[in-house]
């Protein structure tokens, strides 16, 4: 069973994503900011990190710099944010992010389906997000 770390500061979204992913039989850890995410990721190495960018204390890009995906090559990171900027996307991808998705474009079930494809395929699927 794959382990997913959801890094999201809004409690209602944490609950929605956790429930949807656990219903799909994933083990789910939740962090409300980048600092907690670093601690949880070190303790329970996730298979996939679902990462918001706007977070208190330590943002998503700062988390990626501190976590250093080169040291964790098996971990896939999908940014899941409502921030859309070509510079942010490029910066995130340079830090090892697999996909940059816009939250507003996905229902919880569509997110679960996408995560499943990313985890199960050797080559990640094309993003349904038209902004890629």
The proportion of the chain whose per-residue pLDDT surpasses 90, expressed as a percent, equals 82
Q: What angle do CA 119, 123, 124 make, to 5 degrees?
A: 55
* pLDDT tens by residue, 1-57: 899 999 999 999 999 999 999 999 999 999 999 999 999 999 999 999 999 999 999
Q: Tell me the domains of the chain and their CATH numbers.
A: 3-120 (3.40.50.2300)
Q: Is the pTM of this model over 0.85?
A: yes
């Amino acid at each position: 069973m794959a382990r997913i770390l959801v890094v999201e500061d809004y409690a209602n979204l944490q609950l929605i994503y956790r429930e949807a992913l656990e219903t799909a039989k994933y083990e789910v850890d939740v962090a409300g900011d980048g600092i907690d995410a670093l601690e949880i990721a070190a303790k329970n190495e996730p298979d996939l990190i679902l990462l918001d960018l706007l977070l208190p204390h330590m943002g998503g890009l700062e988390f990626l710099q501190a976590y250093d995906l080169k040291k964790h090559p098996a971990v896939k990171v999908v940014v899941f944010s409502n921030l859309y900027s070509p510079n942010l996307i490029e910066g995130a991808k340079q830090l090892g992010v697999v996909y940059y998705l816009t939250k507003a474009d996905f229902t919880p079930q569509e997110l679960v389906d996408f995560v499943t494809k990313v985890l199960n395929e050797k080559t990640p699927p094309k993003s349904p997000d038209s902004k890629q």
